Chains A and B, each alone.
Chain A
């Protein structure tokens, strides 16, 4: 089991969700975050004075998937999430030690 954590552009969420559904990923958690990588932010003015916007709004998707699906998930993320410009985001794949569905008590792969 692997936890796939993806930081994506907010407006790509729907497209990525569709792609995930197509490959059989059932469910995800989504959080609104701010972040920066190699984008350097931009300078704006408010009432004549300059300020720097460093943190850009992004969306963080977390999905727990069986090992066999990880490559498909990464492919889906790249197909649906890529624009080609700096700021497309980043994905981390973490190992999951164990998992449980709260309602039924199912464990590990059955819980995903």
Chain B
């Protein structure tokens, strides 16, 4: 049995023992580390070549080096420089791609905030799942269709990523020219990212291209929100990612026939679309138009006499937060489209993006304030997005002042467009048609007007050494002396709109026929889509929701009486 004094006695010996052992350790180890290298807070090691940073480099002795020594050293340095450049380009492209992926969250918040709380789970889920659905379609065959033939034409793949030479098969039509195989229609390399597709640089390109495709796919969910059946959305989104988006995308970005209009028909630099006002936003907006038109307006939106009944958004802060997330991601969208961190233009691209967004926000909000009454928060957001959409194609080719003008026009254009489509009873809960479709077209046209020739020499295989008599001159628009560029842009706008309206409309029609209807039944729409479609309400504790079974037949009768286009399958 230990007494208190006895325990204290034991502890004292233990304490002394520990202190001695500790001193011994410190003394012994400090002795052992006496010869170790010193820590360097300046990072000078980064300028000291070693076997990792410049493999194979042997520092030539200035007094005694032979020519062979010099040759070996120079080669090692050149390899290291090459590695450095491609590293910066890969990192840049990938990080920009990650930013664009985050835009999915932005779209989800904008769309969900603009619809009613009873449909929050359904709308958010469409935006969530479209990421997987579009990617699936793109992974299976979309990427191959779009980029599989990058090296099948005289344009070639992006040099900043090493050229991606294995993407070299394309379906073409017509005769060969300048070393290509004809007018490019459809790429055929890189299915499932296998075979020729299993390449380091190719897959960087896949990631980057995929997040752009998903932007198009998610635009449609906004226009059809609050009445689109989840089954129909599911199938349609896969088709967008697998076929509709990539085919047109390949025509502009995959070395296809729209890009070839330059070196084949002398139309400027062919269709030029830096980051996708046309390829991404116009396509999304056109799909949004045809699907919103075919699915019909929401119940109660339009009166029989044409009055428009506002359906108020359930969470304005969510909309504005989502818009900021989109604006942030747009730096990746536009500046990242250089596919090169080493491109000296990326600062201008990013700033032009920012400036156009700013100008559009201001012009839109001032217009609403002056001519409609109050600075509507939802229109403020639509305006900023419209400016960002409009600058997406011209961002690399225009001056900041031009970017300002393009944005200022976009900010008002989107407001007019929203009123235009509402008057014609095309119900677009989030303004997708106006933000992405109309301003996507504006952006495509703006390239043909405002491009000033200071960037883009050799674009689409045109004018690599000189263009319009000037060495190093790049993509040029009407206001700077090139009238042909505008023609190529108008062709891109027309073809893109037609392709999406026709093929998207056809796909939507077929899906509607197979499923019975693309639209949920009227009682589900009135009750709210969350529980009937998704099984769980978005906000179970905060709103009271009616079950579809409780909707009376009188309410259904009234719903049937609302004007809808004849093409839409009637609600059951």
Chain A residues with a Cβ under 8 A of chain B: 44-51
| Bound CA span A50–B376, Å | 13
Residue of B with least CB distance to A50: B310
Judged by a CB distance under 8 angstroms, whether B7 is at the interface is: no
Residue of B with least CB distance to A46: B310
Q: How far is the CB of B528 from chain A (nearest CB, A)?
A: 19
**Residues on the A chain within 8 Å of B309, using CB:** 49, 51
Judged by a CB distance under 8 angstroms, whether B379 is at the interface is: yes
**Residues on the B chain within 8 Å of A51, using CB:** 309-310, 312
**Residues on the A chain within 8 Å of B431, using CB:** 47
Given contacts A46-B376, A47-B418, A48-B419, 17 further A-B contacts (CB under 8 A): A45-B310, A45-B372, A45-B376, A46-B310, A47-B310, A47-B379, A47-B431, A48-B308, A48-B372, A48-B415, A48-B418, A48-B422, A49-B307, A49-B309, A49-B422, A51-B310, A51-B312
Q: Binary interface profile of B, 418-451, with partner A (CB < 8 Å = 1, else 0)? A: 1100100000000100000000000000000000
Q: How far is the CB of A74 from chain B (nearest CB, A)?
A: 33
Judged by a CB distance under 8 angstroms, whether B83 is at the interface is: no
| Bound CA span A49–B283, Å | 28
Q: How far is the CB of A39 from chain B (nearest CB, A)?
A: 20
| Bound CA span A46–B377, Å | 9
Judged by a CB distance under 8 angstroms, whether B320 is at the interface is: no
Query: Contacts A51-B309, A51-B310, A51-B312 given: A45-B422 contact, CB under 8 Å?
Result: no
| Bound CA span A8–B344, Å | 64
Is there an interface contact between B308 and A49, defined as CB atoms closer than 8 Å?
yes
Q: How far is the CB of A45 from chain B (nearest CB, A)?
A: 5
| Bound CA span A36–B312, Å | 20
**Residues on the B chain within 8 Å of A48, using CB:** 308, 372, 415, 418-419, 422
Judged by a CB distance under 8 angstroms, whether B89 is at the interface is: no
In chain B, positions 307-351 with a C-beta closer than 8 Å to chain A are 307-310, 312
Q: How far is the CB of A57 from chain B (nearest CB, A)?
A: 14
Is there an interface contact between A47 and B422, defined as CB atoms closer than 8 Å?
yes
| Bound CA span A46–B419, Å | 11
Q: Binary interface profile of B, 368-379, with partner A (CB < 8 Å = 1, else 0)? A: 000011101011
Q: How far is the CB of A48 from chain B (nearest CB, A)?
A: 5
| Bound CA span A47–B427, Å | 12
| Bound CA span A48–B376, Å | 9
Q: How far is the CB of A46 from chain B (nearest CB, A)?
A: 4
**Residues on the B chain within 8 Å of A49, using CB:** 307-310, 422
User: What 3 pairs between A and B have smallest CB-CB spacing?
Assistant: A46-B310, A49-B308, A51-B310
Q: How far is the CB of A55 from chain B (nearest CB, A)?
A: 13
A-B contact pairs, 14 of them (CB 8 A): A45-B372, A45-B374, A45-B376, A47-B310, A47-B379, A47-B422, A48-B372, A48-B422, A49-B308, A49-B310, A49-B422, A50-B310, A51-B309, A51-B312
**Residues on the B chain within 8 Å of A50, using CB:** 310
Is there an interface contact between A45 and B373, defined as CB atoms closer than 8 Å?
yes
**Residues on the A chain within 8 Å of B378, using CB:** 46-47
Q: How far is the CB of A52 from chain B (nearest CB, A)?
A: 10
| Bound CA span A46–B373, Å | 10
**Residues on the A chain within 8 Å of B373, using CB:** 45
| Bound CA span A50–B378, Å | 15
Is there an interface contact between B312 and A46, defined as CB atoms closer than 8 Å?
yes
Q: How far is the CB of B194 from chain A (nearest CB, A)?
A: 48
Q: How far is the CB of B522 from chain A (nearest CB, A)?
A: 22
| Bound CA span A64–B379, Å | 48
**Residues on the B chain within 8 Å of A47, using CB:** 310, 376, 378-379, 418, 422, 431
Q: How far is the CB of A31 from chain B (nearest CB, A)?
A: 14
| Bound CA span A45–B375, Å | 10
Of A45, A47, A49, A51, chain B has the most CB atoms within 10 Å of the CB of A47
Residue of A with least CB distance to B307: A49
**Residues on the A chain within 8 Å of B415, using CB:** 48
| Bound CA span A51–B309, Å | 7
Q: How far is the CB of B214 from chain A (nearest CB, A)?
A: 27
| Bound CA span A63–B292, Å | 52
**Residues on the A chain within 8 Å of B372, using CB:** 45, 48
| Bound CA span A50–B307, Å | 9
| Bound CA span A75–B379, Å | 47
| Bound CA span A48–B379, Å | 10
Q: How far is the CB of A42 from chain B (nearest CB, A)?
A: 12
| Bound CA span A46–B415, Å | 12
| Bound CA span A50–B312, Å | 11
| Bound CA span A49–B418, Å | 11
| Bound CA span A86–B422, Å | 36
| Bound CA span A46–B372, Å | 9
Residue of A with least CB distance to B302: A49
Q: How far is the CB of B89 from chain A (nearest CB, A)?
A: 43
| Bound CA span A44–B379, Å | 15
| Bound CA span A47–B419, Å | 8
| Bound CA span A35–B36, Å | 80
Residue of A with least CB distance to B379: A47
Q: How far is the CB of A102 from chain B (nearest CB, A)?
A: 25
In chain B, positions 383-431 with a C-beta closer than 8 Å to chain A are 415, 418-419, 422, 431
| Bound CA span A46–B418, Å | 12
Residue of A with least CB distance to B419: A48
Residue of A with least CB distance to B374: A45
| Bound CA span A48–B374, Å | 10
**Residues on the A chain within 8 Å of B419, using CB:** 48
Residue of A with least CB distance to B418: A47
**Residues on the A chain within 8 Å of B312, using CB:** 46, 51
Q: How far is the CB of A7 from chain B (nearest CB, A)?
A: 20
| Bound CA span A49–B309, Å | 7
| Bound CA span A51–B378, Å | 16
Q: How far is the CB of A8 from chain B (nearest CB, A)?
A: 23
| Bound CA span A49–B297, Å | 16
Q: How far is the CB of B221 from chain A (nearest CB, A)?
A: 19
Q: How far is the CB of A107 from chain B (nearest CB, A)?
A: 34
**Residues on the A chain within 8 Å of B379, using CB:** 47
